[in-house]
Amino acid sequence: MRITQSKITGIALSAFFAAILFAMAAFGTRADSQQPPAVGMKAPDFSLTSQEGKQLGLKDFRGKWVVLYFYPKDFTSGCTIEAHNFQRDLPQYEEKNAVIVGVSVDTADSHKQFCAKEGLNFKLLSDSDHKVSSEYGSVMDYKGATYAARNTFLIDPKGVIVKEYIGVDPSKHSEEVLAALTELQKGMK
């Protein structure tokens, strides 16, 4: 049997598309085609409801570093680990003039319960219509439901995105962000 270049190309393309489909099934798929805003661009502002029932947006944190993190769902294991680690490191963020702001598609009431149960003292915002998550290229579908994808944007005091993390590991993410924040602030001195 003679194997031609076109057969090899066809086999390679089939394997490539099979790998893409496997990854989409394993990790969820993007629900929109928007890309995350690029590093160096002004962070898109928004207004969302916090766990306290107040409207908050990026403009409310001007003059501070903002760790804007998107996460799939309150009370799930990975999201709880990520939130606990941010809470554990909150004093270090505060020393660096930084705030933690979490966003998911859960309701403000769910966020309130999540904060109470887990002892969280930072802001969680409800994006139930997925608008802000979409604007930040951070939406995924999983088993027919829409969630925020686990992405983080580090925003400087002027409102510019200086670092982004796409598809983060919740167990070590806070440490990564703190290290980056430390380096960025060193560079500004």
Q: Which strand (E) or helix (H) includes residue 132?
A: helix 131-135
CB 130 within 8 A of CB 106: no
CB 123 within 8 A of CB 51: yes
Alpha carbon distance 166, 169 (integer Å)? 9
CB 124 within 8 A of CB 136: no
**b/e per residue, 82-91, with b = 16+ CB within 10 A?**
bbbbbbebbe
Positions marked catalytic = 79
Backbone angle region of 117, left / alpha / beta, with phi > 0 → left and psi within -120 to 50 → alpha: alpha
Structure tokens at 182: 């430390």
Structure tokens at 47: 């207004």
